[in-house]
Amino acid sequence: MSLTTSEYDSLLREYEQRQLDGEKELRRRKEEVAQAVPAIAEIEERIVDGSLQAARLALAGNTSALDALGRTNEWLINQKRQLLVGAGYPADYLERHYTCPLCKDTGTEIVTNADGSETRRPCTCFRRAIIDRYYMDDGLRQRLARENFTTFDLRFYSPQRVDAATGQTYRAIAETALADAKDYADRFGSEYRNLMISGYSGVGKTFLANCIAGELLSHGYTVLYLSAFRLFEIFEHYRFGDRESSRQASLDFDNILDCDLLIIDDLGTEMSNSYTTSQLFVCLEERDREKKSTLITTNLTMDELSKRYSERIASRLFLFRYIKLFADDIRIQSML
Ligand SMILES: [Zn+2]
C-alpha cells in the first residue's frame, strides 16, 4: 500500500472541511450565547471594535493610548468569561476548538526561522494521518498491537546456549538487546541515533523493531515501516515508473525522507541494483543530514552488508548502534 495523489488531495480536502466545520460550530455557539446572554454579544462587539482601534493606534505609533486600550480589552475578555461561566458555559465556549492546536487544523505548520523568515511545512498531525492511512495495513496494526515491550518474552532465548564470539548466553544477549531497545525508544527525540537489529531469521528482530515502533507511535511520532522489498520497489518506480506511478513514488519518497523514524525491515532480502542502491544511500544521507533516525533489521552480518552494498553505504551502516539477537527459531518454538 502506498499513497496516491488523489488520496493525498482527499486528505487535504478533509482538513479544509474540518476548518469549515470548526468555523460553523463556533458561529452556532455564538448565536446560542447571544440568545441566552445578550450582554456577552455586546462585549464581543466591543472587543472586535477595540482590536480594530488598536491596529489604527499601532500604525499611528500612539503607544500610551494603545496600552490603555489593551487594558480595557483584557478587562472585557475577563468580563465575557465571567458572564459565560455565570450562565453555565465553559469559559472557552466562544473560542475556536481545534483538533490540532499546532496547525489550527490547516495541516500546515508555520515555523519562524532565526532570520525572521517563515517556513511552511506539513504538520505532524498531517504526516501521521498520511502514514496511518496509507502505509499501515490491518496486518501491521495487529502486529504492533501484539508485539510490544510488555509481550517481548525473554523465555524464548536460551539461558544455556552460548554465542562463541562473546561467551554470553542467548538469554543475556537478548536481555541487553531489550534494554537497549527500550533505551532507544526512551531517548528518541532528545538524542539522534540510528539502530540496526541483526540476527538470523526468526530470532525476533522484527518483533523488537515493532516494540520500538509502537512505543514511538504512542508518543505521537511518525513512524514509517517498510520492508526492504517495498522500499526498493518505490525507488524503482521513482525512476522507471510511468508518470502516475513515479508521481506516487515521489510522494512516497517525501514521506520516507520526512518521517521521524524510518524502519527498513529485512534489509538484504530485496532485489537491488546499482540504481536502487544509490537511492538507498541518498535516503540514508538525507535522513542523517536532517537528524532523522533510521532503524534497520537484517539477516546479514556487517561483513555481508559491506559486500552487498556500496562502500559509502557500509560506512554509514557502521555508524549505526548495533543490536544482535541469537535464538533457536522463535517462530518454531512458539508454535510448539
Ligand atoms: Zn496539525
pLDDT in tens, 40-57: 888 988 888 888 888 888
Of 292, 261, 293, nearest to 131 by C-alpha is 261
The bridge status of strand 118-122 relative to strand 108-112 is antiparallel
| 285 Cα–ligand 1 center, Å | 27
Q: Decide if 270 contacts 229 (C-beta within 8 A).
A: yes
| 98 Cα–ligand 1 center, Å | 9
Percent of the chain residues topping a pLDDT of 70: 96
Mean pLDDT value of segment 79-86: 91
| 106 Cα–ligand 1 center, Å | 7
Task: Report the range of poorest mean pLDDT among 125-129, 133-137, 138-142, 230-234.
Answer: 133-137
What's the mean pLDDT when you consider all of the chain?
89
Mean pLDDT value of segment 279-284: 94
Give the max Cα distance, the chain: 82
Query: Could you give the CA distance from residue 280 to residue 264 in angstroms, rounded to a whole number?
Result: 10
On the question of pLDDT at 250 being above 60, the answer is yes
> pLDDT tier at 334 (50, 70, 90 boundaries)?
low
On the question of pLDDT at 88 being above 80, the answer is yes
Of 185, 180, 175, 183, nearest to 154 by C-alpha is 175
| 263 Cα–ligand 1 center, Å | 23
> pLDDT tier at 260 (50, 70, 90 boundaries)?
very high
Mean pLDDT value of segment 156-179: 94
Q: What pLDDT score was predicted for residue 194?
A: 97
Please give the residue that has the higher pLDDT: either 220 or 185.
Answer: 185
| 138 Cα–ligand 1 center, Å | 24
Query: Could you give the CA distance from residue 276 to residue 281 in angstroms, rounded to a whole number?
Result: 9
Query: Could you give the CA distance from residue 187 to residue 332 in angstroms, rounded to a whole number?
Result: 33
Query: Could you give the CA distance from residue 333 to residue 154 in angstroms, rounded to a whole number?
Result: 12
| 128 Cα–ligand 1 center, Å | 9
| 127 Cα–ligand 1 center, Å | 9
| 100 Cα–ligand 1 center, Å | 5
3-state secondary structure of 90: coil
Mean pLDDT value of segment 302-318: 90
On the question of pLDDT at 256 being above 60, the answer is yes
| 283 Cα–ligand 1 center, Å | 25
On the question of pLDDT at 272 being above 80, the answer is yes
The pTM of the full predicted model, rounded to 2 decimals, is 0.76
| 185 Cα–ligand 1 center, Å | 23
| 72 Cα–ligand 1 center, Å | 33
| 314 Cα–ligand 1 center, Å | 37
Mean pLDDT value of segment 139-151: 90
On the question of pLDDT at 244 being above 80, the answer is no
Q: Decide if 283 contacts 274 (C-beta within 8 A).
A: no
Q: What pLDDT score was predicted for residue 122?
A: 85
> pLDDT tier at 6 (50, 70, 90 boundaries)?
confident
Determine the Cα angle at 183 with ends 100 and 264, to 5°: 70
Q: What pLDDT score was predicted for residue 103?
A: 93
> pLDDT tier at 181 (50, 70, 90 boundaries)?
very high
| 21 Cα–ligand 1 center, Å | 16
Task: Report the range of poorest mean pLDDT among 2-6, 107-111, 136-140, 221-225.
Answer: 2-6
Q: What pLDDT score was predicted for residue 146?
A: 92
> pLDDT tier at 140 (50, 70, 90 boundaries)?
confident
Domains parsed from the chain with CATH numbers: 135-335 (3.40.50.300)
> pLDDT tier at 271 (50, 70, 90 boundaries)?
confident
Question: What grid cell was written down for 309?
Answer: 552494498
Q: Decide if 145 contacts 213 (C-beta within 8 A).
A: no
| 231 Cα–ligand 1 center, Å | 27
On the question of pLDDT at 335 being above 70, the answer is no
| 46 Cα–ligand 1 center, Å | 31
Question: What grid cell was written down for 135?
Answer: 502505509
Instruction: Tell me the pLDDT tens digit for each residue of 11-50.
Output: 899 999 999 999 999 999 999 998 998 898 889 888 888 8
| 83 Cα–ligand 1 center, Å | 32
Which residues have beta carbons under 5 A from ligand 1 (an ion)? 100, 102-103, 123, 125
| 9 Cα–ligand 1 center, Å | 16
Q: What pLDDT score was predicted for residue 139?
A: 84
| 129 Cα–ligand 1 center, Å | 10
